[in-house]
Chain A
Amino acid sequence: MIAESPRLSDVDEWGRSERIRALARRVYAPVYSHWFRVEWEGLDKIPTAGGALLVGNHAGAIPSDAPVIMHGVETELGRRVYGLADYFFRGLPVVGTLWSRAGGVPARPDNAYRLLHEHQELALVFPEGEKGPSKPYAKRYQLQRFGRGGFVEIAMTAGVPVVPIAVVGSEETMPLLWQIPQLARVLRIPYFPVTANMVLMGPLGLAVPFPAKFRLRVLDPVTFDVEPGRERYPKSEVLEESERIRASMQHALDDMLRRRRSVWFG
């Protein structure tokens, strides 16, 4: 190999830049600790080495759970987290680039496999997909369908555990009141929310979430008793595991909601 001069940027092959990520953490730190006052439970259950698929419940019209989980794990454990999300972000000028530099990766099975298996990184995914944040406030903390269990299949193939995380507080940060499908179609976005924030603050409501208290509970990692590396696993097995994880998360959410005294103070 011919000798090279040092790189001029620190962008890795996923588009992530540790410099920009560090900047994002610095900007987000006050939001994390003073606005949402995030508290974790069982953070030690997240593996400190090796790949693992973090799985959370997704909520709030423009969800704050992804940055909260990424920020929390990266500051508390000192491990990188890549956030898997709809490729829709990648098509947006500026936003897509920043999203990618800050650790966003389009959620595709082959991307997830490479992250988890070859690079042994932590990846965060929300199996509900857009069905989580686009559900009305009346259905808060009711887990939607977990896709087709793809996340389980990825973890099985990659031979890594799934670490479920139950998040309470996200639903109240941006309660979704209505959707405007016509506007979503015109703007070519998955859904266009009208939130309580927008009713109170106007357009500013798109950017400012309510200061709900965040509590996160990391559940026991789920490992699968299957041989990794296979392309496909029996659907029955995959859906069963997926349903089991969903049930354990719903159970944890219900428990955390029962213990919660106040939306704002936890």
Chain B
Amino acid sequence: MTETSRRVLVTGADTFWGARILRALEGDAAIEMLLGLTSSAAAGTFERARLVCTEPTYSALRGVVCSSQVDTVIHPAMIVGSVHASGHEIHEANVISTMNLLAAAGTSGSSVRHLVVKSSSLVYGSTREDPATFSEETPRSDVPRTDVERSLVEAEGLVDDFAHDNPSATVALLRVADVLGAHIVTSITKNLSRPMCPCVGGFDPLVQFVHEDDVVRAVELATRHRLAGTFNVAGPGRLPWSEVAAICKTRRLPLPPVRPALAMAPLARLGIFDFPPELDALLRYGRGMDTSRLVAAGFEYRYTSVGAVQSFAHRLLHPARSARAPLSAGTAPPPRPRSRGTPAPGRRRGPRREP
């Protein structure tokens, strides 16, 4: 771009987002060196990016940061769903890893000048007291009660501290809404791909989604333009959960409003549905975000919230990825993937950890 070439480090090369972002940045000619941190041998192969094996919590990163002289660190590896990770694992992955990463980035001798962190809209929470729309400045209404929310709030605090301690560095914090797309697997995508999806009886909350491609493009933009500040990343507009289910042609299975997780426990145990505590709150009160700040910074969304759901549903209902057949009304949808182990044809399987 305008300045000299960049040296970029991306965390979590073995996670969904780390790999996606590395692949996207490989095409960027302005990047001279691209490093991916991985803690397992399971990471995929990359054309240009070099992988650096580290310990999962990124302790002892100082040497890597200093010797490689990276100027940009992208941290997309935080866990934003609590189904496949215990509270302890989430804490290690989000708080401890971020702490170690930022300590290494801020150490003397480090040449890190730009930091991009992918956080989640979960930091806003979801309660009945919430405003219809969260702007980046709106505080959450309650104290975080779930492990994943608590750890993300804490990690964002660490990012704030880093920005405070390194005033010369630009720090972009991206708060990403619930993601849908062709490849990502989350509790929500899993539930929506069943013939029935859970909802909390009597509630039909407004939810907001962002397409996975837009998330990758937002990270790219934040990196390229060296954005500083907090940005919501969420497709414009929002829609009721009933409409989401209708677009995905799945019926809603109402759970009792009192302790729905308890009613869901057997089905969740069987692996048919995911019902993490953060989903309970979302399916009651929903969450909406102001998307104007990132747009003002030069971002153009390719998908609205509704568009993201429709794109996801299209892939779900037409897994063969043949010619774009219109969504046929009145005919039974094709069989859906039944178990976690067998991804639908045409769907690459995201790593287990994300999100």
Residues of A within 8 A of B (CB): 1-2, 4-5, 7-9, 11, 13-15, 87-88, 90-97, 105-106, 108, 110-111, 114
Contacts and interface: CB of A to CB of B under 8 A. Distances in A.
In the A-B complex, the 3 residue pairs with the smallest Cβ-Cβ separation, listed nearest first, are: A93-B202, A94-B202, A91-B128
Given A9-B242, A11-B243, A105-B132, A1 B304 contact: yes
Contacts of B311: 2
B243 A114 contact: no
A95 B202 CA distance: 8
Interface in B53-77: none
Contacts of B302: 1-2
A13 B129 CA distance: 16
Contacts of A114: 132-133
Given A2-B311, A4-B304, A93 B201 contact: yes
B154 interface: no
Interface secondary structure of B, over-half rule: loop
Contacts of B247: 8
Contact of B132 (A7, A8, A111): A111
B72 to A, nearest CB: 29
Contacts of A96: 128, 202-203
B288 A13 contact: yes
B319 to A, nearest CB: 19
Interface string B117-139: 00000000000111111010010
B303 A15 contact: no
Interface string B224-246: 00000000000001111011001
Given A11-B243, A97-B204, A1 B133 contact: no
Contacts of A87: 128-129
B318 to A, nearest CB: 14
Contact of B257 (A4, A14, A93, A105): A93
8 contacts: A4-B306, A4-B310, A11-B239, A13-B132, A13-B133, A88-B128, A93-B202, A96-B128
Nearest to B200: A93
Given A1-B300, A2-B311, A13-B206, 15 more contacts: A4-B306, A8-B243, A9-B239, A9-B243, A11-B239, A11-B243, A13-B132, A13-B288, A93-B202, A97-B202, A106-B129, A106-B132, A110-B131, A114-B132, A114-B133
